[in-house]
Chains A and B, each alone.
Chain A
Amino acid sequence: MCTSARPANLEDRLWNRKIRVQHDRFFLKWHATRQCLSFRTLLHRLRSQPFAAAFLITTFLFANIHATNAAEKFPGVGRTAIPAEIKAWDIDVRPDFKGLPAGSGSVQKGQKIWESKCASCHGTFGESNEVFTPITGGTTGLDAVSGRVASLRGDANPGYPQRTTLMKLSEMSALWDYINRAMPWDAPKSLAADEVYAVTAYILNLGDIVPADFVLSDRNIAEVQAKLPNRNGTKLFLPLWDINGRGDVVNFACMKNCKVDVNITSSLPDFAKNAHGNLADQNRLVGATRGVRTDSSTEASDAPLPGKARNPNATSGKDSREISGTESVAPLQAGQAAALAKQYSCVVCHAANAKLVGPSYNDIAAKYKGDATASDKLIAKIRSGGAGVWGAIRMPSHATMSDAELKALVHWSLAGGN
């Protein structure tokens, strides 16, 4: 947590000052050597830092600085970015490969990374289970010749049931950048550049785009680009990019006796009506309409009649916000734990009776049955993450969760997730 409290004693304060002066000194040197001195920046520093100012006066022409400031539109707002900062954030890779860091990785090494860090979600061969995006499949050697993936065509026969990454991919830069910035999904930006090259090479090999002994690098990535099955399959569509464009679908505003077909060609089948839950509960209780009741539970409405209707406005006077702020934590209800599991994406990796990325709740419950220390251990484990108890795959950390939430989820996990 960040505290804005001042340092308690004078030494500390002076020490902080000293660091800042040194920092400014570095800053100026850097500017001077690059011969693109920003007087604006200097001036901010001078104004806010009397110590630094004293130092700077001996080094620079003051009048000059003043003159520049007069022309500045927003003095004191923002500062020049330091090269190291730009380097830390400017990680994007363009289609011409500007931004691509030097490095390389083999298919072989990529396979290891894939199996330990990607396969749990995307499947051993990139085919994915039903939960995650399929990476490979749907491309052919013929596509590689034309640069157009045939199975994407509307009249493709046979078609391919899903749109895989390699079917869609028209720019190598996008695949490299995708993995580099966003994968593995639960630990983005954790791969080193060489690892990204390697796992990218492995994906390309799964799609028969490169051979099994291939080593992908910044030097040969453009050659791979020239082999992508769908490299010619993506086009800028100007009318939906340009604000002044005209759309490609034209209608006109007929007002009377318009020739249109009013046959109903599609409607929701009865069995699907309740797929989104009871619609009566998704509409307001008053107004011109009500929600249609789509569940069948309505007939079981023989709840006992209480003597007096409960007035929901006459609550205990306590707001839920106050309550959640108190120390003592009431046990959460099962529904809430399930909601938390969803909120914190536990459901991505855990299910009640099936092993996903992590163990099933039933297996967890069985393992720790009768273990009085389990609760505290598991709270700590979920908070900090870790591997080794169930296998080599790591559970990510959950540092932002509150004690109450963790406790609730552990109790719930130990009850087998129900």
Chain B
Amino acid sequence: MRIDVPLEERSLANEVTDADGIAARNAALSPMGLGRLRRAPEGFLNASQIADVQAGRRGLLRHALLSAAGLTSLSLNSSFARPSLDAKAVPTVDPRGDPNILEMPEHTKSLGQPVAARGYGMPSIWENNLQRRESPGLTRVGAAGVSFCPLQGLFGIITPSGLHFERHHHGWWDIDPRKHRFMINGLVKNPKVYTMDDLMRLPSVSRIHFIECGANTGMEWGNVAVPTVQYTHGMLSCCEFTGVLLSTLLDDCGYDKMNGKYLLAEGADGSGMTRTISIDRALDDCFVAYAMNGEMLRPENGYPLRLVVPGVQGVSWVKWLRRIEVGDMPYATKDETLHYVDLMPDGIQRQYTSIQECKSVITSPSAGQMLLDRGYYNITGLAWSGRGKVKRVDVSTDGGKNWRTAKLETPILSKCFTRFSISWNFDGKPSLLQSRAIDATGYVQPRLNQLREVRGSRSIYHNNAIQTWRIASDGEVSNVHLG
């Protein structure tokens, strides 16, 4: 029996609890409901009208369309048309002027809302399409599931806290921080218990790091399985975390420098997530974090305490962190033996595959999107490496035959997203977009086939292949694999 909740029901129900609010929101958000507009007439163009548009004879169409749709003062550049390159979604300018300019809108002529109308600010309702979403059928139940980050709509390198991807094994909790305790035991002189008060008194660091689930892009090992970058790459986020270095805490407990070779990190949730971390990693740059993007962690991300293990797959960033044990051998925990092992063609399961190797992806334009028009585009995306900084990103528009080096935006930080971009003119020729990242160690992000030659296609984990987006002549972008 499959348990499937219809998509429509993945609602924003938590935020809106009155029926009226929902109606308002739905009216505002559903394309059909927006001011109960009809779809913009661009969607109804016939072949000769399309030819007119392509020939630049838009003015001719304007009047016919207005009367056909029974619209007069409403904007023609409604975004809700079926976007299609032939029937352009770009504004058709009325020779008399754009009504969005000529007719003053309500927000210009009346009073807006007061300060603190929302004690905690929320994104614009117009941004409601960008949500964490699940991939139907990927995991069996929501409390041991994944929600993907909408990378297609994000800018820069910081993931907004509310859009950070989620992966829980036993559901999430909102834990009372006054009752949360953190313990260090094992090979230490003085096993200690810390309250949140204790931890927040200690010297802290704030660092920006990416976090990527080891299974990110895992659905794509064999064939194209999902439609957009949200689902191919969205078990991925990057935030500024604040907390206390593990070196500080391990010193404070007097860890055994001779025999203490490995740590076990353990969570306080039902799954009691446990992961092994080498002492070298721990002392280098790992920390226990209580804050993310300037505020305390979100509950879904482990409030009030999580481990940050830069460069290492997300499962090791144990949430609701309750304990660290210092030991002298790896722990082969449940999530290092029955989950998070990479199956190789010879039937061997690779264990302790932790480092997230260098990877990149173009986020705009990306699959499931439609280019507005021919002409100029700023191809942009993200690159990251678990072994340090990103050194260079190349972009190809012909499926990898020829490459140009993209511009890297600052800051360029270790084990952190680096945003890249490059200019491109879309002339209507079908194209194959790719990005290829190179990190400071000189490692070059591989092609999917190169990965498959070595690792087969059943590994689930650690697919850092170059991603290809096909752009059709009508501007539709889709996910493809090349042979």
A, B bound: yes
Are A181's CB and B351's CB within 8 A?
no
Q: Which of B70, B186, B368, B483 contacts A282 (CB 8 A)?
A: B368
Q: Is there an interface contact between B347 and A292, defined as CB atoms closer than 8 Å?
A: no
Nearest Cβ on chain B to A289's Cβ, whole angstroms: 4
Chain A nearest CB from B198 CB (Å) reads 5
The distance in angstroms between the C-alpha atoms of A258 and B401, with both chains bound, is 5
Known A266-B481, A306-B36, A331-B19; contact A240-B401, beta-carbon cutoff 8 A: no
List residues 82-116 of chain A with CB under 8 A from any CB of chain B.
82, 85-86, 89-92, 94-96
Q: Mark B173-212, 1 if CB is under 8 A from A, else 0.
A: 0001011000111100011111000100110000000000
The answer to whether A292 touches B355 (Cβ under 8 A) is no
Q: How many chain B residues touch A (Cβ–Cβ < 8 Å)?
A: 182
Residue in B1, B179, B225 whose CB lies within 8 Å of A130: B1
Residue contact B274 to A92, C-beta cutoff 8 Å:
yes
**A252 at interface (Cβ–Cβ under 8 A)?**
yes
Q: Which of B15, B170, B470 has a CB less than 8 Å from the CB of A267? A: B470
Interface of chain B residues 31 through 64 with chain A (CB within 8 A): 31-39, 43
- Please measure, in the bound complex, the distance between the C-alpha atom of A256 and the C-alpha atom of B24, giving whole angstroms: 54
Chain A, residues 349-368, CB within 8 Å of chain B (1/0): the string is 00100101000000000000
Indicate which residue in A251, A282, A305, A315 contacts B445 across the interface (CB closer than 8 Å): A251
- Give the complex CA separation of A177 and B130 in angstroms: 39
Kindly specify which of B131-139, B157-165, B235-243, B288-296 makes contact with the partner chain: B131-139
A289 to B228, CA, bound (A): 13
Q: Which residues of chain B are within 8 angstroms of A313 by Cβ–Cβ distance?
A: 106-107, 112, 125
CB-CB < 8 A to A133: which residues of B? 140
Chain A residues near B118: list those with CB within 8 A: 319, 321
Contacts of B422 in A (CB 8 A): none
- Asked if residues B350 and A309 are in contact (CB atoms below 8 Å), the reply is no
- Whether A315 and B227, one on each chain, are in contact in the complex, defined by CB atoms closer than 8 angstroms, is no
**Number of residue pairs A-B, CB distance < 8 angstroms:** 465
Contact of B194 among A78, A305, A329 (CB under 8 A): A78
In the assembled complex, the Cα of A312 lies from the Cα of B70 at a distance in Å of 22
Q: Which of B2, B169, B364, B387 makes the CB contact (< 8 A) with A288? A: B364
B350 close to A348 (CB less than 8 A): no
- Report the separation of the CA atoms of residues A249 and B342 in the bound assembly, to the nearest whole angstrom: 14
Q: Is the CB of B378 within 8 A of A288?
A: yes
Q: Does A24 contact B (CB under 8 A)?
A: no
Could you say which residues of chain B place their CB within 8 Å of the CB of A246? 441, 443
Which of B31, B342, B371 contacts A289 (CB under 8 A)?
Answer: B371
Secondary structure at the A interface, as helix, strand, loop or mixed, is loop
Chain B residues whose CB sits within 8 angstroms of the CB of A374 once the complex forms: none
Q: Contact check: which of A4, A241, A281 meets B278 at CB < 8 Å?
A: A241
Q: Is the CB of B17 within 8 A of A324?
A: yes
Residues of B within 8 A of A291 (CB): 83, 129, 368-370
* A73 touching B346 in the complex, CB below 8 Å, given contacts A182-B270, A290-B372: no
B130: which A residues are within 8 A, CB to CB? 282-284
How far apart are the CA atoms of A275 and B198 in the complex, in Å? 48
**Docked pose: A279 CA to B113 CA in angstroms:** 32
B402 close to A92 (CB less than 8 A): no
B residues 1-28 with Cβ under 8 Å of A? 1-3, 5-11, 13-22, 24-25, 27-28
Shortest Cβ gap from A405 to chain B (Å): 10
- Which residue of chain B has the shortest Cβ distance to A289 in the bound complex? B369
Q: How far is the CA of A248 from the CA of B333 in the complex (A)?
A: 25
Is B142 a contact of A95 with CB atoms below 8 Å? no
Contacts A/B (CB < 8 Å), 6 sampled: A94-B327, A245-B355, A258-B402, A298-B39, A305-B38, A320-B16
Q: A38-B190, A348-B143 are in contact. List 8 more A-B contacts (CB 8 A).
A: A80-B192, A130-B2, A262-B401, A282-B131, A286-B79, A289-B372, A291-B83, A313-B125
Show the binding face of A for B, using Cβ within 8 Å: 2, 4, 38, 40, 73-74, 76-82, 85-86, 89-92, 94-96, 129-133, 148-150, 152-156, 163, 165, 168-171, 173-175, 177-178, 181-182, 185, 188-189, 230, 233-237, 239-258, 260-268, 272-273, 275-277, 279-294, 298, 301-306, 308-317, 319-321, 323-324, 329-333, 335-336, 338-343, 345, 347-348, 351, 354, 356, 404
8 closest A-B pairs by CB: A309-B35, A290-B83, A262-B399, A312-B28, A153-B347, A174-B337, A336-B13, A237-B350
